[in-house]
C-alpha cells in the first residue's frame, strides 16, 4: 500500500519540480543523463518563516556555493511537498529547468499553509481577500510575508524575486500577483488552476469523474506539520477504470471510499452548482492592475488545466498594462518541465527537443531578463504558440492573432460539415443509455489523471450509434484554426437533462505513416486525432449558478464553448465534428432525468433517452487568414 501511495504522490509532484511519473507508449522518451550533482554547487537550508498571524511555513532554500556574485531569488510554493526533507537531501532538479539550475539562482520551495511540514489550516483554492483587515490572511499575504522575510534574511541576493509553479503551484504563482511585493519582478504561472468549476474537477458544470481519486490528496486535513503522507488512496481492486465506475453506479455510492473526514468530497457534493463557494475560489476575476512581468505557460493537450492558462493570460491582458506573454506548446500537463527527446502525446509525435527549446530559449530568457537585469528587450514575442497540425512554433503580437476571421459551418444531412447551406428543418437523433456510455478512450487502464486521450484516435467513437459525425471532404488547401471554437447546438431530448459533448477531429489521409509512438494495434492511416473536446452539462445552458431542466421534446439552444486551439488541418486531411452525450468515465454520467443534485441521484433516476441534434446547429471556428 505504501508503495502505491508513493507512486501516485510522485505523479502529482511534477508540480514541485520533479519529473512526473506517467505511463507512456513512447519507445525512445528517456530522461536525459546528466552527471551534474546539485549538492556540489548548492547549499541547502531548511527553515520556518512566520506569517503575519504567527503561523510558520516550512521553507527550503538552495543557495549557490559560489558567492562571487549576487543572485536573484526564484520561488515555488506548493501543496505537494518540498521533499526531500533533510539538510543533506537534495532535489535532482533545482530551478524551473536544468539550464537555470546550472547558471545559478537562489531557489526557494515552500509548503503552503496547512500542507506537509507547514503549520496552519489548509483551504483548497483559498479565496482571495481584497482590502484585508488586521488578522486576515490568504495566499497573497503569505507570499508577501515570505518574500519580505527572504529579502531581509537571505544573503547574497540581488533584490529581485521571481515565482513559478506548475498546476496547483501555478495557481499559487498567479496568487503572488495579487497585492504583489515590490521585490517581485517576474512570475510564470504554468498550467495554473484558474477556477475549480472549469479546471480539473469540473468542466462547464459536469463533474470530471476521472479526477475522483485525486480527492484523497486535497480532502484530508492534518493537525500538525509532517514529512510523511497523512492521506491514502482508495483500494479499487481493478485496472479497468471504465468498468469500476460503471459498476459503482450513482456518485452517492462512492461515499464508501470517502467518508465525512474527506472535506473536499463533502464540498463537491454540497456545492454542485457554481455558487458563492466556488465563485470566491476563482482567481481569474481578480487579475487586474498587475505589476510584475508575467509569462503564462500551458499545453494544448492539457486535460487538467487548459482553462486556467488561457484565461489567466487573457484577463491580465485585458485589465493590466504590464509585460504579459503566453506560451502554448504541444504538451500535456507539465510536459514542458520534462527532459525527453521526442515530444509525443499518446500516438501523435510532434517533434524533437521541443521542451528543451522552451526551457533554454523562452523560460530562461524570460527570468534572466527580469531577474538578472539583462539589458535591452526580452527578445520574446507576445505569444509563442505551437501549431499542433503543422508541427512548428509560430510567434504573434497577440493571442488570439489579430489576422483571424470567424467562419461558420453547419451540421448538415448525410454527415456533412460545411459552409451554411439552405436551411432545412431536419435532425439526427441517437439513444443515450447510461448503462452503456461512450468511453473517453479505448485503453483499458486505471490512470490517476488522464493525459493521452487528448490526441487519441476517435474512430471507435465515430463508429458507435450514439455518436453523431459530421465532416468535410478532404481539404484542397490547408486550414488553420487559431482561437476559440463555439458550437451553437439546437437540440432536444426526450428526458429532462442531458450533457452535450462536442469534439473537433483531424482525420488523417489513408496513407499516413505510423510514428514510433503509435500503439501496436493502431495505424495512423485514417487516424481520427482529437484536437479539442468540451462538454456542457445541459442544465447550466443559461446560468451556471441556476440549473434548469429541459422540457421534453422542446427544441433548445445549447452553446458549447471549446477552449482555444492552434492547429493546421493539412491538405488531404478532413475536419470532423463529433457530438455525443457521454464521455465516460472522464465525465460522470448524467441521469438524464433532472434532479437537484446529481451527487444525490438514485439508480432509478438514470434513464435511457433519445436526443436530437437539429441541422440548424452551427459551429463557429476562428480561422487564421492565409
Give me the half-sphere count of Cα atoms (radius 13 Å) on the Cβ side of residue 41.
Answer: 18
Contact between 190 and 334 (Cβ < 8 Å): yes
Q: Please, which pLDDT band fits residue 421 given cuts at 50, 70 and 90?
A: low
Contacts of 538 by beta carbon, 8 Å cutoff, 6+ apart? 491, 493, 497, 498, 499, 500, 550, 556, 558, 590
Contacts of 560 by beta carbon, 8 Å cutoff, 6+ apart? 204, 486, 487, 489, 500, 501, 502, 534, 535, 536
What is the tens place of the pLDDT at every residue in 162-221? 999 999 999 999 999 999 999 999 999 999 999 989 999 999 999 999 999 999 999 999
Residue 381: the pLDDT is: 97
Residue 374: the pLDDT is: 72
pLDDT above 70 (res 4): no
Nearest to 424 by CA among 490, 328, 486, 327: 490
Distance CA 178, CA 176 (A): 5
The strand pairing partners of 622, in sequence order, are 406
What is the tens place of the pLDDT at every residue in 311-331? 999 999 999 999 999 999 999
Residue 424: the pLDDT is: 66
Q: Please, which pLDDT band fits residue 447 given cuts at 50, 70 and 90?
A: confident
- In the chain, the percentage of residues whose pLDDT exceeds 70 is 94
Predicted TM-score (pTM) of the model is 0.94
Average the pLDDT over each of 91-105, 370-384, 428-442 and give the range with the smallest value. 370-384
pLDDT above 60 (res 13): no
Q: Please, which pLDDT band fits residue 425 given cuts at 50, 70 and 90?
A: confident
Instruction: Compute the mean pLDDT over every residue in the chain, rounded to the nearest whole number.
Output: 93
What is the tens place of the pLDDT at every residue in 233-247? 999 999 999 999 999
> Coil, strand, or helix at residue 175?
helix
What is the tens place of the pLDDT at every residue in 476-489? 999 999 999 999 99
Distance CA 402, CA 398 (A): 7
Q: Determine the average pLDDT of the residues in 325-342.
A: 96
Q: Please, which pLDDT band fits residue 376 given cuts at 50, 70 and 90?
A: confident
pLDDT above 70 (res 279): yes
CA dihedral 126, 132, 137, 140 (to 10 degrees): 60
Residue 18: the pLDDT is: 33
Q: Determine the average pLDDT of the residues in 421-446.
A: 90
Q: Please, which pLDDT band fits residue 2 given cuts at 50, 70 and 90?
A: very low
What is the tens place of the pLDDT at every residue in 57-116? 999 999 999 999 999 999 999 999 999 999 999 999 999 999 999 999 999 999 999 999
Residue 450: the pLDDT is: 87
Amino acid at each position: 500500500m505504501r508503495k502505491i501511495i508513493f507512486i501516485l504522490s510522485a505523479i502529482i509532484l511534477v508540480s514541485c519540480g520533479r519529473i512526473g511519473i506517467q505511463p507512456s507508449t513512447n519507445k525512445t522518451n528517456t530522461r536525459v543523463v546528466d552527471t551534474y550533482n546539485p549538492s556540489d554547487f548548492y547549499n541547502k537550508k531548511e527553515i520556518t518563516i512566520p506569517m503575519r498571524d504567527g503561523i510558520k511555513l516550512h521553507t527550503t532554500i538552495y543557495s549557490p556555493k559560489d558567492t562571487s556574485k549576487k543572485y536573484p531569488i526564484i520561488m515555488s510554493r506548493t501543496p505537494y511537498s518540498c521533499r526531500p526533507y533533510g539538510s543533506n537531501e537534495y532535489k535532482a532538479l533545482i530551478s524551473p529547468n536544468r539550464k537555470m539550475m546550472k547558471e545559478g539562482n537562489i531557489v526557494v520551495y515552500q509548503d503552503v499553509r496547512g500542507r506537509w511540514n507547514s503549520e496552519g489550516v489548509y483551504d483548497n483554492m483559498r479565496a482571495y481577500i481584497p482590502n484585508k483587515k488586521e488578522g486576515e490572511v490568504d495566499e497573497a499575504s503569505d507570499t508577501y510575508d515570505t518574500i519580505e522575510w527572504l529579502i531581509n534574511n537571505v544573503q547574497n541576493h540581488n533584490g529581485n524575486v521571481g515565482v513559478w509553479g506548475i498546476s496547483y503551484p501555478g495557481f499559487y504563482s498567479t496568487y503572488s500577483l495579487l497585492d504583489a511585493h515590490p521585490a517581485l519582478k517576474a512570475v510564470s504561472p504554468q498550467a495554473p488552476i484558474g477556477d475549480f468549476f472549469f479546471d480539473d474537477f469540473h468542466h462547464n458544470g459536469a463533474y470530471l469523474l476521472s479526477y475522483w481519486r485525486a480527492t484523497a490528496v486535497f480532502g484530508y486535513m492534518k493537525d500538525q506539520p509532517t514529512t510523511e503522507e497523512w492521506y491514502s488512496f482508495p483500494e479499487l481492486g481493478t485496472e479497468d477504470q471504465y468498468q469500476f465506475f460503471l459498476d459503482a453506479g450513482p456518485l452517492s455510492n462512492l461515499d464508501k471510499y470517502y467518508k465525512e473526514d474527506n472535506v473536499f468530497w463533502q464540498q463537491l457534493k454540497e456545492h454542485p452548482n457554481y455558487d458563492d463557494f466556488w465563485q470566491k475560489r476563482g482567481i481569474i476575476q481578480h487579475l487586474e492592475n498587475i505589476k510584475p512581468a508575467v509569462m503564462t505557460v500551458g499545453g494544448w493537450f492539457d486535460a487538467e488545466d487548459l482553462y486556467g492558462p488561457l484565461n489567466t493570460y487573457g484577463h491580465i491582458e485585458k485589465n493590466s498594462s504590464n509585460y504579459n506573454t503566453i506560451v502554448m506548446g504541444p504538451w500535456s500537463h507539465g510536459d514542458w518541465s520534462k527532459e525527453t527527446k521526442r515530444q509525443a502525446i499518446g500516438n501523435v509525435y510532434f517533434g524533437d527537443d521541443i521542451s528543451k527549446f522552451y526551457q533554454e530559449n523562452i523560460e530562461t530568457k524570460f527570468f534572466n531578463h527580469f531577474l538578472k537585469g539583462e539589458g535591452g528587450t526580452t527578445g520574446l514575442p507576445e505569444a509563442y504558440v505551437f501549431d499542433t497540425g503543422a508541427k512548428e512554433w509560430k510567434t504573434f503580437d497577440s493571442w488570439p492573432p489579430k489576422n483571424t476571421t470567424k467562419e461558420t459551418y453547419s451540421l448538415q444531412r448525410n454527415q456533412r460539415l460545411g459552409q451554411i447551406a439552405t436551411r432545412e428543418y431536419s435532425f439526427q437523433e441517437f439513444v443515450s443509455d447510461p448503462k452503456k456510455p461512450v468511453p473517453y478512450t479505448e485503453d483499458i487502464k486505471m490512470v490517476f489523471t488522464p493525459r493521452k486521450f487528448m490526441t487519441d484516435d476517435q474512430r471507435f467513437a465515430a463508429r458507435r450509434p450514439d455518436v453523431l459525425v459530421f465532416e468535410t471532404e478532404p481539404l484542397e488547401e490547408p486550414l488553420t484554426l487559431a482561437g476559440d471554437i463555439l458550437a451553437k447546438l439546437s437540440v432536444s431530448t426526450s428526458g429532462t437533462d442531458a450533457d452535450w459533448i462536442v469534439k473537433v477531429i483531424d482525420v488523417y489521409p489513408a496513407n499516413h505513416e505510423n510514428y514510433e509512438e503509435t500503439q501496436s494495434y493502431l495505424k495512423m492511416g485514417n487516424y481520427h486525432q482529437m484536437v479539442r473536446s468540451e462538454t456542457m452539462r445541459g442544465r447550466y445552458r443559461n446560468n451556471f449558478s441556476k440549473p434548469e431542466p429541459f422540457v421534453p421534446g422542446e427544441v433548445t439552444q445549447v452553446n458549447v464553448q471549446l477552449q482555444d486551439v492552434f492547429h493546421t488541418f493539412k491538405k488531404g486531411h478532413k475536419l470532423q465534428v463529433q457530438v455525443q452525450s457521454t464521455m465516460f468515465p472522464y465525465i460522470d454520467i448524467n441521469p438524464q432525468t433532472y434532479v437537484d443534485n446529481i451527487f444525490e441521484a438514485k439508480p432509478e433516476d438514470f434513464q435511457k433517452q433519445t436526443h436530437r441534434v437539429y441541422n440548424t446547429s452551427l459551429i463557429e471556428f476562428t480561422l487564421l487568414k492565409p
